[in-house]
Structure 1
Amino acid sequence: MAETVVQADHEHGAAPAPPPRGRRGRRTVLVASALVVVAAVAVVGALGLGGGGSQAGSSAPPRSGSTVPVTRTTLTERTTVDGQLGYGTEIPLPVKATGTVTWLPAEGTTVKRGGTLLRVDDRPVVLLYGTLPMYRELGLAAGTRQNSGPAGDAEGSGDQGRTDETSGDPDPSGSPAPSGSPTPGGAGAGGTGRTLRGMDVLQFESNLAALGYTGFTVDEEFTDLTARAVKRWQRSLGLPQTGTVGIGDVVYSAGKVRIGHAGVRLGSPATDDVLTYTGTSRKVVVNASAAEDSWAVRGAAVTIGLPDGKSVKGEVASVGKSATAPEGGGGEDGPAAPTVPVTITVKDQKSVGRLESAPVTVEYVGRERADVLTVPVAALVALAEGGHGLETADGRFVAVKTGLFADGRVEVSGSAVREGMNVRIPE
């Protein structure tokens, strides 16, 4: 009876009964199995099963995807670290003047040779150029006969021995000296011969001449002619014209300076830390890891990245000798690695613009490999037996040895790798 009913339903146009559930399930399984097989082929190729030789996977059909050639080039490893642009570390001015500070310059002021650094007891402390510090008073030595010259010349009122823009050059033998005055380079007639000599005298006389006070021989002897030039210099500063330079009257530096912060206030006694200074050229300081500072060699070229995106050239000028641990200790990864200060100079100061202080980046060259075969790092595939390989355009896999990684490329070598061959970028 059931069979008749089924036939009638069919004959009256009823929808055919759906196929048995088990048949649909088998179709799904077959489709899935096919996908697994395709995936398995890809995996076998990528894993390089048996891929140690050039025949490995030679029967595999080519797959779609981009290919790139193996190229020969020079790989350069570049590393970027953080730095700070500024004028360098402020150091105290070696002021030896004693008394009360009566005037201080504004922070950031640039002082050149002959300029006033500060005033102590209302006397100027003058900047001169040199490397030898002021360690003694400079003047005519005791027992050396001074030239009194015409009346009043002892106080610097005379112009004998002076050279300026209007008087022209002095006589090669120096200014005429009255009888009894010491000759340049020697003791005064009838004197004891105790003329003050030394490299500090030469350094001071060089500065005095550079400021336009001449009429004496620039050498290692402080003579009467030197004293006369000193008096004229003192008169221009509003000082008593003694012809003697006190130990606290001048401060030497290698060049012009930029004033830092003051360590005292007006009215306070002059101390060793009364004023700090830096050079006038902007530079970059990097606290480099002491374990990774092999790049920090004096004279090494680096690239400085400024906040506005521009890059300027720099050069390593100095490397600290002592490593210190950063302030604040370490974090979750353990204690912070010790660092050494690396100072980098910028030859073209105009390239920095108006920036005086800013965080910057410093890029330096690490390792370099010249004339090597390279591919994009993305072209590498891992091999089941270990190491790396490349997939050729026709679907083969060849083993390679990797070298330096840099700029998104990697150095590769191997018997089956040649310049110009195309390799596939895995999808």
Structure 2
Amino acid sequence: MAETDTMTHFDDGTEPADTEPPRGVRGRRTALIACAVVVVAAVAVVGALGLGGGEEEHPSAPPRAGSVVPVTRTTLTERTDVDGQLGFGTEIPLPVKATGTVTWLPQQGATMERGDTLLRVDDRPVVLLYGSMPMYRDLGLTATASASDTGASDAGQSDTGTDAAAPSASPSPSTGTGTGTGAGAPAPLTGMDVLQFETNLATLGYTGFTVDEKFTAATAQAVKRWQKSLGLAETGTVGAGDVIYSAGKVRIGQPGTRLGETVGEDTLTYTGTSRKVVVNASAADASWAVRGTAVGIALPDGKSVKGEVASVGRQASAPEGGSTEGESGAGAATLPVTVTIADQKSVGRLESGPVTVEYVGREVKDVLSVPVAALVALAEGGHGLETEDGRFVAVRTGLFADGNVQVSGSGVTEGMKVRIPE
């Protein structure tokens, strides 16, 4: 009878007590139990290595050996944890164009806003303003070409020497066309950098001019009032080294110089004011790192906050030891992944420290699953489940996640009771 169906398990009560099972059946049953123990141990180890993903974040008590559990219909999500570092991002040198001796520096970690003094050079303040265009020239009133110069082309003369009276620090062409201007008459300096500066000046409360691309006499008067508030000589001209632009507020980083030293390229560094997480993700396993991907962040104090992938580096770092193999473990090449945190208040007062970033690798919905421990190895190969009445049903396995495994097969139904092997 035992030879007719290898999927059927005979309970002790179905055979006479004095009947010894055939040697082949007993040997096969012993091998089956041994295989079951081996596969349960192996699957448990695989889950611990990360195929289950996120078990530490979603702990659940495993079923006891010998117990009966139902086959359930659920959604399985594979989660993976990677290490990250909380902080304010990479410190970037401020583009200080002022020349001279550093006479004052702000404290590291200080937050600077529009109109604040970033540092002082030769006791002159270098002020933070907002904008995307760098300060590349002096801004002020310039002189237009003389009437004879502007009419030179009409007279067939060579157009040389125009704008000779203009300062070399203001190389942009004048908007004067010769109409309504006499020799040496002031003409407004124009450009998008003028519009950017005037926008900041008006936002700081120094008005009385039209915010546009022209630096006029009215703009110069507003600049004088601003210079007076800073304790500067009221010249009406803004030097290229008097202003530094940034996209918004900045957080002062580690200074690269000391008081009394000459201004250099790394005189002062800065970061943004929002905390973020940087992950050195394995270059061979960074498919999850896509801009906009939602992730979870476990903070050192045990709290969990939401994050979003903001950027992914394009250049992989060299692995330790120079190996370039595509392995995901230690020594593999990595890519920097920046994760932003929208709700800064959720982080509390923590400014830096190691964190754990959890991301979803794969997800399957509306599938049948059982605890990993319920799997047994069948003598004829593959995996199976032992039913409550002692039968063995062959199954195909799918995703392993959170201590459970996706199963399917003609003999598997929702609610079916299966045993956890002892």
**Could you tell me the TM-score, scaled by structure 2's length?**
0.75
Q: Determine the C-alpha separation between the residues in 2 that align with 1:111 and 1:328.
A: 42
Deviations 1:318-345 (A, max 9, x none): 1111000245667xx9981110111111
Deviations 1:236-286 (A, max 9, x none): 001111111111000011111111111111111111110001111111111
Q: Determine the C-alpha separation between the residues in 1 that align with 2:82 and 2:330.
A: 19
Instruction: Work out whether 1:400 is the aligned partner of 2:391.
Output: no
Instruction: Work out whether 1:257 is the aligned partner of 2:250.
Output: yes
Who is 2:365 aligned against? 370
Q: Determine the C-alpha separation between the residues in 1 that align with 2:320 and 2:225.
A: 53
- Equivalent in 212, 216, 227 of residue 223 of structure 1: 216
Do the aligned residues in 2 keep the contact of 1:112 with 1:256 (CA within 8 Å)?
A: yes
Who is 2:139 aligned against? 138
Q: Determine the C-alpha separation between the residues in 1 that align with 2:264 and 2:145.
A: 34
Q: Determine the C-alpha separation between the residues in 2 that align with 1:277 and 1:368.
A: 40
- Equivalent in 263, 267, 277 of residue 270 of structure 1: 263
The 3-state SS of whatever aligns with 2:264 is coil
Who is 2:110 aligned against? 109
Who is 1:384 aligned against? 379
TM-aligned CA deviation for residue 39 of structure 1: 8.4
Distance 1:123 1:302, change over 3 A: same
Who is 1:190 aligned against? 181
Q: Determine the C-alpha separation between the residues in 1 that align with 2:342 and 2:227.
A: 37
Deviations 1:112-153 (A, max 9, x none): 1100000001000000011111111111232299xxxxxxxx
Who is 2:98 aligned against? 97
Q: Determine the C-alpha separation between the residues in 1 that align with 2:378 and 2:35.
A: 5
- Equivalent in 315, 319, 325 of residue 318 of structure 2: 325
TM-aligned CA deviation for residue 384 of structure 1: 2.1
Q: Determine the C-alpha separation between the residues in 1 that align with 2:382 and 2:351.
A: 50
Trace 1:340-379 onto structure 2 (pairs within 5 A): 340-379=335-374
Q: Which runs of 5+ in 1 are unaligned?
A: 1-30, 49-63, 146-184
Distance 1:328 1:112, change over 3 A: farther
Instruction: Work out whether 1:337 is the aligned partner of 2:308.
Output: no
Instruction: Work out whether 1:280 is the aligned partner of 2:248.
Output: no
Distance 1:417 1:186, change over 3 A: farther
Who is 2:76 aligned against? 75
Instruction: Work out whether 1:307 is the aligned partner of 2:300.
Output: yes
Do the aligned residues in 1 keep the contact of 2:385 with 2:419 (CA within 8 Å)?
A: yes
Who is 1:239 aligned against? 232
Do the aligned residues in 1 keep the contact of 2:130 with 2:200 (CA within 8 Å)?
A: yes
Matched letter for residue 260 of structure 2: G
TM-aligned CA deviation for residue 228 of structure 1: 1.1
Distance 1:298 1:224, change over 3 A: same
Instruction: Work out whether 1:202 is the aligned partner of 2:203.
Output: no
Trace 1:150-161 onto structure 2 (pairs within 5 A): none
The 3-state SS of whatever aligns with 2:142 is coil
The 3-state SS of whatever aligns with 2:194 is helix
**Could you tell me the TM-score, scaled by structure 1's length?**
0.74
Distance 1:235 1:327, change over 3 A: farther
Do the aligned residues in 1 keep the contact of 2:111 with 2:249 (CA within 8 Å)?
A: yes
Matched letter for residue 214 of structure 1: T
Do the aligned residues in 2 keep the contact of 1:329 with 1:335 (CA within 8 Å)?
A: no
Do the aligned residues in 2 keep the contact of 1:45 with 1:397 (CA within 8 Å)?
A: no
Instruction: Work out whether 1:212 is the aligned partner of 2:205.
Output: yes
Q: Determine the C-alpha separation between the residues in 2 that align with 1:306 and 1:335.
A: 23
Matched letter for residue 265 of structure 1: R
Distance 1:293 1:377, change over 3 A: same
Matched letter for residue 108 of structure 1: G
Q: Which has the larger radius of gyration?
A: 1
The 3-state SS of whatever aligns with 2:220 is helix
The 3-state SS of whatever aligns with 1:351 is helix
Q: Determine the C-alpha separation between the residues in 2 that align with 1:144 and 1:119.
A: 36
